[in-house]
Structure 1
Amino acid sequence: MAASAKSLSSLLAQASLDDHDDILKAANAAIKKSKTDLDAHHAKVVALLKLERYEDAAKLFEDTPKLQEQARLEYGYALYKTGDAGKAAEVVEDHANTRGMKHLLGQAAYRSENFEQAANVYKQLSAEDGEHEEYDIKINSSAVDAQLEWNHLGDLAQKRKPTREDLEVFETAYNAACGSISRGELAQGEVCLKRAKDLCNALTDLSEAEKKAELLPITVQQVYVLTQLGKIDEAEQLLTSIPFAEIKELSTRYIAQVNSIAVAKEHTNPYLSHRLFHSSPKPPKTDQHFAFQTNLLRQDEYVVDLISQKVAGVADSTAKVMSASPAPTIEPSVTTAGVLNAAAHARNVTEKAALKELLPLLEKRPSDVGLLLTITHIYVITNNHAAATHLLESFFKRLEQSGTASDLDVRHAPGLVAALVSLYASQGRHAHSKTELAKAASYWRHKSKTPSKALATAAGTALLESQDPESLKSAAEIFESLYEQNKEDRAAIAGLVAAYSITDPSRLSSQLLDSLPQTARLVSDIDAAALEEAGVPTLAAPSSTQTETKKRPAEKTKEAGQKKIRKSRLPKDFDPNKKIDPERWLPMRDRTYYRPKGKKGKKKMEGLTQGGPVADEKAVEQKPAAGAGGGSGKQQQKKKKGKGGKW
């Protein structure tokens, strides 16, 4: 073994750095003599990695378990290059005590979508003094920041806005564009993408082929932004300049071809779109999409199937996705599958017709969050906010009664809480909104990690509006935790100052107060006199003679109490300029302006008019009697003429 190691070492000393084939041959010869020679195995695995034979290197590590401990860096790198980034991160995580290990851990954490860990690693690397690494660390850090934004963890990003420094290199400009797009700042993203293309074209150390390879992903992203901005013609024109076959990364090529189907106007035939969609190349294991991309692409696939009338297939596929995950869950892929499953069962009907199909389905699947939100949305667009609110409240109550940790996490999920709070706000139920926000904030404060800064900020702000001492104390605790997480967070600082000023003014430090912007700077561009002249009410004078308050007169509207009458109830000869008779519903004789004509009419009116002269009671009583007697006589005479008639 010693002899073989010595001969191998001498060969390595004589070999050049690029002569990896000779090193591999020598290592194989040494291993053939002694299969337990770990140095020979180590040399072989390094040669395989240099020759980019990553699968062979990974297999060698699996066949030689002892080598995994001796060559941990190489083992982690082989796993990373073969697409097993999660396992690679596990291998080097507890041994990341060198810069090489830290770089590998950062890359592996990024590809395994543990972006929080990746952000911490690059923060450590940037704090250390690494020679000739500042450029690479800056690019990788900006890529991590963009992914944090895509995964709704933007609070952990080192930068949330593009800086001038980011727009000096095309890689960081591209990452800045991705971060802006993930935040919905599409116009800013378009600017950054154009800047990235200009910087890439201006490079002199890249060949034209290398420039083209770098520009293709930027152009694909640019097509997406233009589409989202509604610039369809410009996006379609840009698509014609993309040679799809020349995009080396199949994950990027797949996205480009799917987006081309969505943008192109001529693909009006759903069956043709379906065929083109499924003919796009699938990326290999080493070039997989991130989870949020996979989720969106799966949604696109289901939508294409739905418009191609493949509703049964979509219902079955989405049902399998949901059954593979315990319910209830707020996992995006599962909740999206629930929404599309509901669309498949509704079979292209909308609103109330869809409710008839979906409500019985909800009775079978009461824990399906996607289905629940679909029905809630239909209630909202049909202006049935009360039913939508009751649906969410009942769902929350069931989860509270369950009491399991997973159910309670779903019950206090920021998105679901925001949906219920929005419904409360639309109905003016502000007290319920505050209670719901406070309950969610209290729940997450006792957990190890708060899932949403927006939820905590909204809850603290709502609690500050209360006069209850306990609510104010809770608000102070919320803003304290936010301030501890980020001492530069202006919302946390402002909330903390507001809470302390009411609950405990002695805790207001000069550091907190100085962190707030000066009042003079905030109101420097406000003209109080102009506001007052424009209609701001002034305070009444303290003297007995009150001065008139200056206020903008209200616009003349319809008279109070006047209601709009439907055209179907108006007569054909209706004149809108003529005043409508308010007594038109009364009989003519009961109207105030009625005046009978002739002596008989006037005499009759005297007996009918309320408050008019009344005749003698005896006379009044005699009239019916006379009339009755006369009538009776006539009837008797008629009876005599008949034969055998009976009354």
Structure 2
Amino acid sequence: MAASTASSLASLLKNSTLEDHEQILEACNKTLKTSNSDVEAQHVKAVALLKLDRYEEAVKFIQGAGDNLRRAAALEYAYALYKTGRLQEAVEASSQLQERGARHVEAQARYRLEDALKTLEIYERLRSQGSGNEELDLRVNRSAIDAQAQWLGVAESKSIRKTAREDLEAFETAYNAACGSIARGEYAQAEILLKRAKEICKHSDELTDQQRREELLPISVQQLFVLLCLGKSTEAEEVAREIKAEEALDASTRKVAQNNLLLTSSTDNPFLAYKVFHTTPKIPSEDKLFSYQDIPLKSNKTTLDLQAYKFDGLTAPTSKPARQYRPLSLAPDDLLSSCAQATARAKNETSKGAIRRILPMLEREPNSIGTIITLVQLYVLCGDSTSAVELLESCLKRLEESTAEDEQDIRFNPVLVSILISLYKHRGQRAHIKQELAKAASHWRTRSNPPASLLSAAGVSLLESHNEEDIKTASEIFAKLREQQPHDKATAAGYVASHVNAEDSQDRLDTDKLTAVGDLIRDVDVTAIENAGIPQSSNALAIAQLGTSRKRGAPNGVESKQKRIRKSRLPKDYDENKKPDPERWLPMKDRSYYRPPKGKKKSKRGGETQGGVVNEDLNVDAKPAATTVATASAGNKKKKGKGKK
């Protein structure tokens, strides 16, 4: 009986077409009713369920059928796990298989898990084994992984390739190249690539009208974002009229499209914007957004919540142990959550009262970096930059004294370092800027993939010094950056400047990479600059004009008499033949011939001269702290003596 059912199923499969999967599924169900352990019928049913896009049913069926079917349909099972959003299980199932199709499933699952580097290795292995008719698919997937690696910030500068001619041949590769340009902040190039992708997609003969509309929608959504970043509002409105978010097949594309359309609308009512933003349905788990898409949408949602005065939902209390022992983190989700809670606690205000409402929150959660950043911003808005610096320096000092390596990385994170440097610039503390950059550079120099922007800023700061040790450190920094970014002109310029006294043939090669001086000054009119004279500030010009208007100039040919100085205004020991000290206006410590005192007088005489250099570490702008008045009982009061004031 089983043999006859198997033969009938085989004949049915032989005579079936690719469009009658329902008929195949019905025949498999009939066969399994008579022989529920028939592995071949189970395998055919699993494939039919996948063809019908019933992935959840396929997973449940394969799991319930037993180990025999799971071994026979291992690839189908891994693919069904991938389509249902169970990505980690799909990776584990596909990585145990040796066939080529399993490598594609594993690569796609790791791509959704944002494991870009491992995914790149898989596709490189597939291309080395021979692509055959998969050449275009592998090229498209590879370009998508390149863009994702740049979005995540894990791509090495050496591995970032420039847009090639082959990227402009298909709309998929042109679109992925545009996404890579957006990740690097090159919006002008991204605009050109998106236009190219749009034109190729519109005139493609391989797509039906329905497929063409489906492919054009994400391209237009991305194009709208780029135009908004470039400030081309008129062109952005034209593209926005082409987008119909409700036609998107997946919920993630619909959500991103609705967000970008909301940015182009002229809605001044925050409550209406809040309603429009939440019109799209919830995104299912199998179609979740990438982190670099999800975080901006969460930020927009939080902003709309604050504008709509939804404070209660943002300040929902958490458990006391969770608040006290929450680990330090600079993850975007944690920063966004803590900043939103602090802003909601302040009720969208920027006054000193808002600061007083947030300070108890910082006492409960001293490890909340987002709360500290919010308080620093409020202090600056209130004009109290001293308190802002003290708050951030105390946090960084606590991190610097820690022995944990992850906390050391947080201490010298480019975000916190740049905030502190901005505060120092605001206060004019240039020495502190140099010290902070030098410490950050010494921390990151030993790492494999240090932040290039931070090292470059530290190298430039050290080059301004006349100390040989600082110049040596700057040369080491730019040498490391040169290995990391061999084609970057700013790095090449820093390398040449730091090795200006060294006789190295490599310097000549780096000099050739820089723009020639003649090209830089080609449009400069030297004659006009010489005729313009020395540039003066507006105040100096106003004073000069005021002086000429009040005083009458001496007639031509008449020598002006030298003004006689009264003896009463001259010093007692004044000698006309003796040249006065040119440094007499400088404080004693700043004069070239000053020598610091030795012995016991060294600690007494330092820094007490009125008019000397102000120590930047002193908080001269700080306001006196409020003192706590202790109340005592009447019996503890000390009587005041008579006759005393």
TM-score, with length taken from structure 2? 0.72
CA distance in 2, matches of 1:284, 1:292: 17
Write out aligned runs for 1:142-541 (5 A). 142-153=143-154, 155=156, 158-159=159-160, 161-265=162-266, 267-316=267-316, 326-381=326-381, 384-446=384-446, 449-450=448-449, 452-463=451-462, 478=477, 482=481, 512=506, 516-518=510-512, 522-525=516-519
Amino acid at match of 2:454: L
Decide whether the 8 Å contact of 2:157 with 2:484 is kept in 1. Answer: no
CA distance in 1, matches of 2:138, 2:461: 41
CA distance in 1, matches of 2:255, 2:522: 58
Q: 1:84 aligns with which of 61, 83, 86?
A: 86
SS of structure 1 residue aligned to 2:315: helix
Q: CA deviation at 1:28?
A: 5.1
SS of structure 1 residue aligned to 2:336: helix
CA distance in 2, matches of 1:36, 1:20: 21
Which moved further from structure 2: 472-481 or 198-207?
472-481
1:65-116 alpha-carbon deviations (Å, 9 max, x no partner): 4544554432221111111223322333465x55423322221121112223
Do the aligned partners of residues 65 and 401 (structure 1) sit closer, same or farther apart at CA in structure 2, a change above 3 Å counting?
A: farther
Decide whether the 8 Å contact of 2:493 with 2:511 is kept in 1. Answer: no
1:619 aligned partner: none
CA distance in 2, matches of 1:446, 1:363: 35
2:605 aligned partner: none
Do the aligned partners of residues 28 and 317 (structure 1) sit closer, same or farther apart at CA in structure 2, a change above 3 Å counting?
A: farther
SS of structure 2 residue aligned to 1:424: helix
CA distance in 1, matches of 2:96, 2:188: 43
1:521-542 alpha-carbon deviations (Å, 9 max, x no partner): 6234256997875669xxxxxx
Decide whether the 8 Å contact of 1:274 with 1:305 is kept in 2. Answer: yes
Amino acid at match of 2:452: K
Q: CA deviation at 1:331?
A: 0.7
CA distance in 1, matches of 2:313, 2:290: 25
CA distance in 1, matches of 2:472, 2:36: 69
Amino acid at match of 2:93: V
- RMSD across aligned C-alpha pairs, in angstroms? 4.4
Do the aligned partners of residues 65 and 442 (structure 1) sit closer, same or farther apart at CA in structure 2, a change above 3 Å counting?
A: farther
Amino acid at match of 2:343: A
2:53 aligned partner: 52
Do the aligned partners of residues 495 and 334 (structure 1) sit closer, same or farther apart at CA in structure 2, a change above 3 Å counting?
A: same
Q: CA deviation at 1:330?
A: 0.6
Do the aligned partners of residues 179 and 16 (structure 1) sit closer, same or farther apart at CA in structure 2, a change above 3 Å counting?
A: same
Amino acid at match of 1:555: Q
Decide whether the 8 Å contact of 2:350 with 2:382 is kept in 1. Answer: no
Amino acid at match of 1:100: G
Decide whether the 8 Å contact of 2:178 with 2:190 is kept in 1. Answer: yes
1:46-71 alpha-carbon deviations (Å, 9 max, x no partner): 33323322112212333334544554
Number of equivalent positions: 549
1:520-574 alpha-carbon deviations (Å, 9 max, x no partner): 96234256997875669xxxxxxxxxxxxx99434386569979x9xxxxxxxxx
Decide whether the 8 Å contact of 1:271 with 1:308 is kept in 2. Answer: yes
Do the aligned partners of residues 75 and 353 (structure 1) sit closer, same or farther apart at CA in structure 2, a change above 3 Å counting?
A: same
Structure 2 gaps of 5+ residues are 552-565, 567-645
1:598 aligned partner: none
Q: CA deviation at 1:164?
A: 4.3
CA distance in 2, matches of 1:65, 1:270: 56
1:622 aligned partner: none
Do the aligned partners of residues 334 and 108 (structure 1) sit closer, same or farther apart at CA in structure 2, a change above 3 Å counting?
A: same
Decide whether the 8 Å contact of 1:8 with 1:30 is kept in 2. Answer: no
Q: CA deviation at 1:396?
A: 0.7
1:408-431 alpha-carbon deviations (Å, 9 max, x no partner): 232122211222233334545444
| Identical columns (%) | 39
Structure 1 gaps of 5+ residues are 537-549, 566-574, 580-591, 593-647
Q: CA deviation at 1:486?
A: 6.1
Amino acid at match of 1:282: K
Decide whether the 8 Å contact of 2:251 with 2:282 is kept in 1. Answer: yes
Do the aligned partners of residues 498 and 2 (structure 1) sit closer, same or farther apart at CA in structure 2, a change above 3 Å counting?
A: farther
CA distance in 1, matches of 2:471, 2:232: 48
CA distance in 2, matches of 1:493, 1:148: 25
Q: 1:73 aligns with which of 67, 70, 75?
A: 75
Do the aligned partners of residues 380 and 79 (structure 1) sit closer, same or farther apart at CA in structure 2, a change above 3 Å counting?
A: same
CA distance in 2, matches of 1:207, 1:319: 55
Decide whether the 8 Å contact of 2:324 with 2:364 is kept in 1. Answer: no
CA distance in 1, matches of 2:221, 2:325: 33
CA distance in 2, matches of 1:521, 1:269: 50
Structure number with the bigger relative contact order (C-alpha 8 A, sep ≥ 6) is: 2
Decide whether the 8 Å contact of 2:437 with 2:457 is kept in 1. Answer: yes
Greater Cα radius of gyration, structure 1 or 2: 1
CA distance in 2, matches of 1:94, 1:557: 75
2:140 aligned partner: 139
Q: CA deviation at 1:458?
A: 3.5
Q: CA deviation at 1:357?
A: 3.4
